[in-house]
Structure 1
Amino acid sequence: MRTHNPHRRGPGEAGRPLVGGVWGESTLPPRPQVPSQNLSTATPPQLLTRGFNHPQLSVLYRRFLNLLISRPWLGVALALAIPIVGFARAGTLSQQFFPPSDRNQFHIDFELPVQASLTETERQVQDVRNLIVQQPEIEKVTWLVGETFPTFYYNVVAQKESVSNFARGLVQLQPNLLPQPIVRRLQLQLDRQFPQAQVLVRQLEQGPPFESPLELRLYGPDLDRLRQLGNELRGVMAQVPQVVHTQSTLTEALPKLGLQLDETSARIAGLDRAAIARQLDANLEGAVGGSILESTEELPVRVRLKQGDRGNLNSLNSIELLSQEEAIPLDALGRVELLPDIAEIDRRDGLRVNIVRGYLEAGVLPADALAQFEQAWQASGVTLPQGYSFEYGGEAEARGTAEGNLFSTVGILAVLMLATLVLSLGSFALAGSIAAIAIAAVGLALAALRLFNYPLGFMAILGALGLVGLAINDSIVVLAALRSDPEARRGDPKAMQRVVDRSTRHVLTTTLTTMAGFTPLLFDRAGFWPPLAVAIAGGLGGATLLALFFVPSLYSLAIRAGWIAGGDRAELEAVPD
């Protein structure tokens, strides 16, 4: 029996190729041969198509994941090691609620003894200005004598008006100069050149306003005892090396004219205390003797002793007082002397208070100086008697108030976050694990601040709160991946290792890109942004451990303990390496 073979060529058909299963003439050109080595070089590099991949490192990482999933307590301990260290070392962090401003300006407070005249203050301020303008970094200096400037910076408040012994100067630096080193140098020079005055060269600060970095308020009933305690504690405060000047509100004394009256001589002359006081007031302060019309305004004319006689103690002794019969010199009725009198008596909440203030070198953290003052106070042995109390003001009070306002809503936000997690995850155990990650993230931020030696302040607290959100986000990514895989959801160790391994690339990518985004903030010369950047970028490394090690380990423990729904416990045996 003959069969037909379509591929068999008949006689005379050997030169005809087969096209589409039909014999016929071919008009197609021959196909060129491409060398195999050209094909391999035409493909893109593996790094661009599949990313970084290191086989040996991948094998070690998978084995490590198997170890942690098979021994979940080890994974929990490893992930929480850094947060625990952060909380343990939090007490050693310096505190600075806001760093100084980097504005190329600073101001100078110049204060003479309280009895100094406006003319004397103006003369010495001119000498100060001549010294300042010699500095090459100074562009402009403006002074106001007798009062403070109107508010030119949001937390520099005008507090003094019509004060003859006070002046404030505003110094403008050349562009792109940081004021701190210039402030320190000028403080030393002005203290050396003007020892008779209290000169404060002050850098502009951030945050709420306060009069002085260190402030101690002493409360008590007796002014003399308050003054004594203030002077003692002022001496203790001056022992702190970073303190450049101290003040006490009850220390300043005004010269007061006192008359030791001879009662017998006054009665013989027919004068009593009230009559003598009226005549002395008329001679020294003046009596209205008429008025003049200046344009449309009537001005009173006051008659009194001339300035030279009013300021001379010998002239005051020879003032003649009118009695019923004749004029009697004042020194015939008693002895005139100058007595110190308290310049001002401050009250706070109805209580007498003596405020002791300390001013620091530029760049010194007030919290560190306050800690040194407390140690010096304990060593000095100065104690407050019964009925006297104290409290701290200044930067410590402003920082405490601001931190209280900042944390006042944390409780409400925590409850809302926990409720959202419970509703989203459908499990209190899973929501609790995420809440534990939020607490651990705060410890990571504290550890980063301690490692890089940054103070704990407003920006660092904001960084810690931001890190909490990033850590929760990475952990939810891993947790959602575990819950979406049926085998990993039941707690199968192999499946959990596979899911975490697959999520690692995404978590690491998020971590590295976020850290790179915050890196430019580390180069802020004024120091305002670096605490925030360090808290977030530095803590993200530990947050990655929480997402990749803590979450699967805690998930495995939760399934084994029956806290969340899972598979048969027999499926939860460890996978050998």
Structure 2
Amino acid sequence: GQTVIVTKSIEARNRVKPALEKLLREEFVGTDAFVKLLELGPPVGRPVQYRVGGPDIQTVRELAQQFAGVISANPKLAAPTFDWNEPQRVLRVDVLQDKARQLGITSSDIASALNSTVGGSTITQVRDATYLINVVARSREAERGSIETLQNMQLPTGNGESIPLAAVANFRYDLEQPTVWRRNRTPTITVPAGLVGDVLPATVVNELKPSVDAFIAKLPPGYSVETAGSVEESAKSQGPIAAVVPLMLFIMATILMVQLQSFQRLFLVVAVAPLGLIGVVAALVPSGAPLGFVAILGVLALIGILIRNSVILIVQIEDLVAEGKDRWAAVIEATEHRMRPIALTAAAASLALIPIAREVFWGPMAYAMMGGIIAGTAITLLFLPALYVTWFRIKEPEEAQGNDADTAAVPEAQGAER
């Protein structure tokens, strides 16, 4: 079961969570209790999880316990648990088939009698409005848990007499798994563990990878260890995006090629987009926002914004060159003319993202886009003109250099006259 606690603020939530963890740890010793925040994505429980599977149940139990010892060495993980592992004591009824057949009693008769005593059987139904409710008759709780009750349970024989169940069956205690989870029909134990401190599951999984790989190398044939939990669910959610990225890049390159009509200019435009990650990292690290699914969507949108600004600047330069201007002067003039529109557009986009920056779900995307837009705009206006001049080997005109030299010589001459 679970209990949902709603606090009045994030600060109150951050105070309640450690208090509940301490209470459960001290007052409910031996219980498997876990305090977590409601997931924004698929619910996975404890974020770091591994699956240990194989054909033999007992071997899987032993390997799962050994694996739990391997991952518990990481101080960033809480104590690992198991979704099933501990066997329970059960009462087995071994029917003496020879005696039962002589008395005209079948295994089905014994099973029906046991089910009626322990689980109960429906004897009638009661109508409640439009619903029919079963009325179940079974033994009292004290009698259901007593082996004497089962031994003395009367069974009708073929000649109309009744005999106790102990006359045709033996009773013994045994251990068995109450629950066995299977994955692809293979017994599989999930080993989940919580996180200690503000750390991402992917970070801990990467730190555990060497020790996990060493453990996998020692596994017997037919047994495996797989990564589950948040890392697996994150890979599932990002898979569809990664599948369409090649098509997206092809369409973008085609449209840019139609617009620019030059592989060189296409390279200059595309070269600016990855540099926007500088601003993404600079914004995500101080804010503590994770680079998750939503932030990746923001990065994809950021790429389009940076490429658009680069195309605007490159096209402006080419238009000025087509009008007869020198390439050096065209680069300077185009940068000066396009600086204000590009900067205002970036400022408007960044300011518009501020309202959702405090949201838990949309915050990572907002920080990623704001940092990338600000840094990408500066890169577009400073790095792209320099890259254009360097790539096409544009040199400053000699007239401009001569004018600079004459300007510098005038004050010297005036100083000599004085």
Taking structure 1 as the reference length, what is the TM-score of the superposition? 0.57
Among 399, 404, 408, the residue aligned to 2:239: 404
Q: Specify the alignment match of 1:420 in structure 2.
A: 255
State how far apart, in whole Å, the 2-side matches of 1:520 and 1:505 are.
Answer: 24
Tell me if structure 2 keeps the 8 A contact 1:180–1:203: no
Among 238, 260, 272, the residue aligned to 1:437: 272
Among 167, 178, 181, the residue aligned to 1:346: 181
> AA paired with 1:197?
T
Q: Specify the alignment match of 1:195 in structure 2.
A: 29
Judged with a 3 Å threshold, the aligned counterparts in structure 2 of structure 1 residues 479 and 517 are, in CA distance, closer, same or farther, namely same
Among 305, 309, 313, the residue aligned to 1:474: 309
Write 1 or 2 for the structure with the bigger share of helix.
2
What is the CA distance between 1:428 and its match in structure 2? 2.6
Aligned: 1:386 with 2:221? yes
> AA paired with 2:111?
D
Q: Specify the alignment match of 1:552 in structure 2.
A: 385
Q: Specify the alignment match of 1:170 in structure 2.
A: 4
Judged with a 3 Å threshold, the aligned counterparts in structure 2 of structure 1 residues 289 and 527 are, in CA distance, closer, same or farther, namely closer
Judged with a 3 Å threshold, the aligned counterparts in structure 2 of structure 1 residues 474 and 570 are, in CA distance, closer, same or farther, namely closer
State how far apart, in whole Å, the 2-side matches of 1:417 and 1:273 are.
Answer: 84
Unaligned runs of at least 5 residues, structure 1: 1-166, 561-568
Q: Specify the alignment match of 1:22 in structure 2.
A: none
What is the CA distance between 1:489 and its match in structure 2? 6.7
Aligned: 1:251 with 2:85? yes
> AA paired with 2:221?
Q
State how far apart, in whole Å, the 2-side matches of 1:253 and 1:464 are.
Answer: 49
Q: Specify the alignment match of 1:67 in structure 2.
A: none
What is the CA distance between 1:190 and its match in structure 2? 1.9
State how far apart, in whole Å, the 2-side matches of 1:197 and 1:492 are.
Answer: 75
State how far apart, in whole Å, the 2-side matches of 1:215 and 1:380 are.
Answer: 15
Q: Specify the alignment match of 1:24 in structure 2.
A: none
Tell me if structure 1 keeps the 8 A contact 2:309–2:380: yes
Taking structure 2 as the reference length, what is the TM-score of the superposition? 0.76
Q: Specify the alignment match of 2:369 in structure 1.
A: 536
Among 274, 287, 295, the residue aligned to 1:460: 295
1:467-509 CA deviation, whole Å, 9 max, x = no partner? 2233223323322332222489765424433443444344444
State which drifts further: 283-292 or 198-207: 283-292
What is the CA distance between 1:206 and its match in structure 2? 0.7
1:283-329 CA deviation, whole Å, 9 max, x = no partner? 53238999568679897986x76542331235555667789999578
Judged with a 3 Å threshold, the aligned counterparts in structure 2 of structure 1 residues 485 and 255 are, in CA distance, closer, same or farther, namely same
Judged with a 3 Å threshold, the aligned counterparts in structure 2 of structure 1 residues 380 and 427 are, in CA distance, closer, same or farther, namely closer
Q: Specify the alignment match of 1:284 in structure 2.
A: 114
Judged with a 3 Å threshold, the aligned counterparts in structure 2 of structure 1 residues 326 and 408 are, in CA distance, closer, same or farther, namely closer
Judged with a 3 Å threshold, the aligned counterparts in structure 2 of structure 1 residues 173 and 250 are, in CA distance, closer, same or farther, namely closer
Which structure is larger by alpha-carbon Rg, 1 or 2?
1
SS in 2 for 1:479: helix
State how far apart, in whole Å, the 1-side matches of 2:396 and 2:12 are.
Answer: 65
Among 330, 343, 348, the residue aligned to 2:166: 330
Tell me if structure 1 keeps the 8 A contact 2:54–2:188: yes
SS in 2 for 1:416: helix
Aligned: 1:206 with 2:40? yes
How many residues are treated as equivalent by the alignment?
Answer: 395
Q: Specify the alignment match of 1:497 in structure 2.
A: 332
Tell me if structure 2 keeps the 8 A contact 1:442–1:465: no
Match runs of 1:304-383 below 5 Å: 306-313=140-147, 315-316=149-150, 330=166, 334=170, 336-360=171-195, 364-374=199-209, 377=212, 383=218
State which drifts further: 185-194 or 497-506: 497-506
What is the CA distance between 1:340 and its match in structure 2? 1.8
State how far apart, in whole Å, the 1-side matches of 2:175 and 2:68 are.
Answer: 20
Judged with a 3 Å threshold, the aligned counterparts in structure 2 of structure 1 residues 326 and 415 are, in CA distance, closer, same or farther, namely closer
Judged with a 3 Å threshold, the aligned counterparts in structure 2 of structure 1 residues 188 and 372 are, in CA distance, closer, same or farther, namely farther
Q: Specify the alignment match of 1:116 in structure 2.
A: none
Tell me if structure 2 keeps the 8 A contact 1:257–1:337: yes
Tell me if structure 1 keeps the 8 A contact 2:389–2:395: no
Aligned: 1:227 with 2:61? yes
Tell me if structure 1 keeps the 8 A contact 2:328–2:395: no
Identity value in percent: 23
> AA paired with 1:392?
T
Judged with a 3 Å threshold, the aligned counterparts in structure 2 of structure 1 residues 177 and 300 are, in CA distance, closer, same or farther, namely closer
State how far apart, in whole Å, the 2-side matches of 1:275 and 1:446 are.
Answer: 76
State how far apart, in whole Å, the 2-side matches of 1:553 and 1:183 are.
Answer: 52
State how far apart, in whole Å, the 1-side matches of 2:334 and 2:292 are.
Answer: 39
State which drifts further: 343-352 or 376-385: 376-385
Higher relative contact order (CA 8 A, sep 6+): 1
Unaligned runs of at least 5 residues, structure 2: 405-418
Judged with a 3 Å threshold, the aligned counterparts in structure 2 of structure 1 residues 338 and 359 are, in CA distance, closer, same or farther, namely farther
What's the RMSD between the two structures over aligned residues?
Answer: 4.2
State how far apart, in whole Å, the 1-side matches of 2:142 and 2:375 are.
Answer: 77
